[in-house]
Amino acid sequence: MVQDGVPSVLLGFDPCVSLVERCVKAAFDSLHLLCLAPARQRYRCEASIKDWAHVQTEAHQVDCAFMVSARLITETAQGRKSILRKRVSMVAKS
């Protein structure tokens, strides 16, 4: 993975490994979805979208955890950042 551009620091970070596994599963399921009949595609499309939403949420959590562990941001700054994102998402929904 380092040869493909992944920083070696992230390979030792356990939440990152979990995220990669989840991404691979979601990508495989998305490709599998394309091989199904149209009726089954519609049925499974919602589950696929939810899987990618979970991947996005986990990626954000891993990113914040890595930034805190690397001392790029403090935990209080992380809390403010997540509060700001919640406010932005609430405004976007309305």
Read off the pLDDT of residues 38-77 as tens digits, 9 standing for 90 and up.
Answer: 888 888 888 899 999 999 998 888 888 877 777 766 655 5
84 or 19, higher pLDDT: 19
Tokens linked to 44: 């499974």
Q: Which amino acid is at 61?
A: Q
Alpha-helical runs (H) found in the chain: 8-11, 14-34, 38-69, 75-93
Find all residues with CB under 8 Å of 9, minimum gap 6, and list them: 70
Contact 2, 11 (CB under 8 A): yes
Query: For residue 88, is pLDDT > 60?
Result: no
Handedness of CA 45, 50, 53, 55 (dihedral sign): negative
Report the phi/psi class of residue 37: left, alpha or beta, with left for phi > 0 and alpha for psi in -120 to 50.
Answer: beta
The reply to whether the predicted model has a pTM over 0.75 is no
Looking at residue 43, its pLDDT comes to 82
